[in-house]
Amino acid sequence: MADSSRTIMTDAGFALETRVRADETKMQFTRAAISTDDHFSDTDDALAKLTELYNIQQDGKVTAVQVINTTTVYVQVDVNQAESKADYQMRSAALYAKDDDGTEVLYGVTVLQDPVFVHKDADGSYLGFGINTTVGKASNVVVVVDPANMVTQQVFESTMKNYYTKAEVDAKFVTDDDFASKLPKNIATTDAANTFVKSQTLAGGATDGKGNAYATTKDVATGLNNGLSTKVNTTDMRKPANDVLGLEDIKSSVLPSGTDLYTLINTSGQPLSYFVPTYTSAQSMVNKPTTKLSAFKLNTDSIGDSTSPSYNYTFLTLKDDSDGSIYEALIHTDGSGAIIVTRPWYKVADDSTVVHSTDMRKPASDVAGIEEVNAKQDKIGYTPADDSKVVHSTVTQLTSTDMNTVLTAGFYSLNSGTNGMPNADAWTIYQVIPLSSVNGVQVAYETNNAILGMRSWNSGSGKIIFTSWVQFADDSKVAHLAGTNNFDTVPTVNNNPLLLASSLPSDLARTGQDANFTAKLQQNGQDVALANNTIARNPNTGVVSEPVDFTKLTVNGGKSVATSDDLNNYYHANASDAAALAAAKSATVPGIFWFEEV
């Protein structure tokens, strides 16, 4: 069963405690601050980093500091309900302490799973609660309390010493059964009907509790003969008949709806019993022990059957009829009659789940505590696990939950809520893996499909920031850089499909090997001559810059071509230029035409 409250020492408190342990200073608990902020789901690391609480409703006074042992101190805090501005629900409390220099720090934070309703009470009622906290050296804790209108733990314990415990009473007195067993069988008792075998003579006569004489049959007969009536007249009754309670009604009374259970100080001098018959009425009660309270019975019993309204300590015992759960609380009044909650409601353990000393294999004095086991961890080679940091296999069901608030390690199922993985169904399992209070990851596993998702969180600007969910790809459907890849659809680049090798024409020419073109080949729309459409030079004439000897050069269907030498020789065959020119004009050399310049 998880604790309904826990107290965590802050980093500042630990630093102060370290100085106390080193005898560098002394420590004094100064005050408490009551907040409506819910920090119960925060991790211990997150609580340790707090330096103050917000939404403070009022301060509480340290009314008792009791040294339990060398490392543990009990701090009693009382809250004056008359100082409350309005009704509120206490969900967390800050405990402050200061050193010799007067520097005050937030020493510890107490967080509650179930809120405590604080009712504004002009009559000066008090709500009290205790905090057990650890210190380095209890001897260095300065015990300074505000005694005004308060009863300290020491005063209470001193007062209690004047009363016998049940064990002491049992040892000093015999029980009714033991006493009855020693009495004669034929003795008359005052709380039962007695049958007298023989006639009894009462010399002084028989009277009731007020001294009124009982009438004998003779007296009654005489009275009737004198005209007395056997009926009770309504005029003789102090209350009307319909307003008279029977004995069974006196044993238990109905609590009015809206009753503050912390106001039931018993001053009757005897135990009182109450009952609430309906769930609706039970839910209207103020300062009830649980938010799920149904019809219940409540007994109040003051110590010593006190009838005084001052310094009256009353025990409250409540039994929930719906599940049989039993809750107890202790309230008391101070010298002025103001009510203080000495010990808030707590659930009484089911005896069937309690370990009895007779059931233990070893006596309790021979059983090692957790702190003793932890002290030996260096010798046994392991570090005991912090349960708050252990991932449990149990899947926690979440309803109407924001996944941005789920930072505690574990497995969860989100029935309804926000910020889960997109398109995830109600059968998705979420795993939360915190690295610290401000860093971690959430992993989503879909159980109906092989789909995974992940996101992380970190701290930024003083708040937790989550990344977007990223869905993991199916490795069988991912293209890898190494090896072959098979695509179900044609890949694209900029939405343009890639051309596959199987889609290429079979007669596509390759630049690295010979290609046979069955159709003509063109360049810029012009046919390209093939080798069989060209005439090889024979002999090889080379390039134009090289001299080549043509033994028989013809053009235009076999006509001979005149060389420059032929022309030159022909020109110079005559003695003068005029004669040569005349000869040239009259000569008929194939392919040579003469034009006279003007």
pLDDT digits 0-9 by tens, 6-49: 888 899 988 888 888 788 888 888 899 999 999 999 999 999 99
Q: Is residue 336 part of a domain?
A: yes
Q: Which two tokens stand for residue 578?
A: 């005029």
Kindly state whether residues 311 and 395 are assigned to the same domain. no
Number of domains in the chain: 4
Average pLDDT for the chain: 79
**Comparison of pLDDT for 572 and 427, the residue scoring more:** 427
Q: Is residue 291 part of a domain?
A: yes
Q: Is residue 310 part of a domain?
A: yes
- pLDDT tens-digit profile of 531-556? 777 766 666 655 556 676 777 777 77
Q: Which residues contact 30 (CB under 8 A, 6 or more apart)?
A: 62, 96, 97, 98, 104
Kindly state whether residues 138 and 9 are assigned to the same domain. yes
According to DSSP, the residues that pair with 464 across neighbouring strands are 459
Choose among 415, 435, 434: nearest CA to 425. Answer: 415
Q: Is residue 92 part of a domain?
A: yes
Q: Is residue 432 part of a domain?
A: yes
Kindly state whether residues 301 and 400 are assigned to the same domain. no
Q: Are 291 and 315 in contact (CB under 8 A)?
A: no
Lowest-pLDDT choice from 43-47, 172-176, 470-474: 172-176
pLDDT band with cut points at 50, 70 and 90 for residue 154: low
Kindly state whether residues 285 and 338 are assigned to the same domain. yes
Q: Is residue 34 part of a domain?
A: yes
Kindly state whether residues 395 and 335 are assigned to the same domain. no
**Last residue in a domain, options 429, 451, 471:** 471
Lowest-pLDDT choice from 36-40, 259-263, 328-332, 447-451: 447-451
- pLDDT tens-digit profile of 267-281? 999 999 999 999 999
Kindly state whether residues 319 and 409 are assigned to the same domain. no
Mean pLDDT for 196-223 is: 74
**Comparison of pLDDT for 437 and 142, the residue scoring more:** 437
Q: Give the pLDDT confidence score for residue 1 in this predicted structure.
A: 36
Supply φ then ψ for residue 201, to 5 degrees. Answer: -110, 120
- pLDDT tens-digit profile of 356-383? 666 777 776 677 777 776 666 656 566 6
**Last residue in a domain, options 471, 506, 539:** 471
Kindly state whether residues 144 and 25 are assigned to the same domain. yes
List the domain range (segments joined by +) for residue 393.
388-471
Kindly state whether residues 86 and 15 are assigned to the same domain. yes
According to DSSP, the residues that pair with 7 across neighbouring strands are 110
Kindly state whether residues 328 and 393 are assigned to the same domain. no
Q: Give the pLDDT confidence score for residue 552 in this predicted structure.
A: 74
Kindly state whether residues 393 and 262 are assigned to the same domain. no
* Among 133-147, 259-273, 377-391, 535-549, the range of highest mean pLDDT: 259-273
Q: Is residue 186 part of a domain?
A: no
Mean pLDDT for 137-163 is: 52
pLDDT band with cut points at 50, 70 and 90 for residue 249: very low
Kindly state whether residues 22 and 137 are assigned to the same domain. yes
Cα angle for residues 590, 594, 596 (degrees, 5° grid): 175
pTM of the model: 0.29
321-338 burial code (b ≥16 CB/10 A, e <16): beeebebebbbbbbeebb
Q: Give the pLDDT confidence score for residue 329 in this predicted structure.
A: 94
Mean pLDDT for 454-460 is: 91
Kindly state whether residues 25 and 109 are assigned to the same domain. yes
Q: Give the pLDDT confidence score for residue 333 in this predicted structure.
A: 93
Q: Which residues contact 89 (CB under 8 A, 6 or more apart)?
A: 36, 115, 116, 117, 118
How large is the greatest C-alpha to C-alpha distance in the chain, in angstroms?
Answer: 211
Q: Is the pLDDT of residue 519 over 80?
A: no
Q: Is residue 165 part of a domain?
A: no
**Beta strand extents in 241-325 (DSSP E only):** 253-254, 272-276, 296-302, 313-320
Q: Is the pLDDT of residue 220 over 70?
A: no
**Last residue in a domain, options 104, 120, 151:** 151
Q: Which two tokens stand for residue 391?
A: 């991932």
Residues in the chain: 598
Q: What percent of the chain has pLDDT over 90?
A: 30
